[in-house]
Amino acid sequence: MTQLTVWHNPRCSKSRATLALLDEHGVTPNVVFYLETPPTADEIKQVLERSGKTAIELVRMGENVFSDLNLSKASTEESLIEAMASNPILIERPVVISKDRAVLGRPPENALNLI
């Protein structure tokens, strides 16, 4: 079975639902509390490559820090990645990662594509 890693925020209902869904399918992922142990810019780049998403698709634009940092949809990939690495609250969650692919657990069922 594929080993999965989940960037998890226990306060997020979608994140909790994704973990519960994986558990229902017999998958015990490596859970990373990304607010406590933020991913590096390189790790975020890897997730973007594996998911086929752009940085703006992984950013939580509704967070105050997004506007506080003067970020926008027009911001560069690099500036968004650096902002997420420095302010992990900006990372949309949950992110489910396998060896060669990654998905956003919105909806949680997306995680099933990796098992």
Residue pair 93/9 in contact by the 8 Å Cβ criterion: yes
- Summarised one tens digit per residue, pLDDT across range 31-66 is 999 999 999 999 999 999 999 999 999 999 999 999
Point out the catalytic residue in the list 5, 12, 60, 115.
12
The C-alpha atoms of residue 82 and residue 96 are separated, in whole angstroms, by 20
Residue 1 has what pLDDT?
56
Exposed / middle / buried, residue 25 (Cβ in 10 Å: 0-12, 13-18, 19+): exposed
What is the arithmetic mean of pLDDT over 3-28?
96
Residue 112 has what pLDDT?
95
pLDDT-above-70 percentage for the chain: 98
Domains of the chain, start order? 5-114 (3.40.30.10)
pLDDT at 74 over 60: yes
User: Is there a catalytic annotation at residue 12?
Assistant: yes
What is the arithmetic mean of pLDDT over 94-103?
96
Residue 61 has what pLDDT?
97
Residue 27 pLDDT level (bands cut at 50, 70, 90)? very high
Residue 77 has what pLDDT?
98
Sign of CA dihedral 76, 78, 80, 86: negative
User: CA nearest 18: which of 34, 3, 5?
Assistant: 5
User: Cβ contacts of residue 43 below 8 Å, gap of 6+?
Assistant: none
The C-alpha atoms of residue 15 and residue 96 are separated, in whole angstroms, by 10
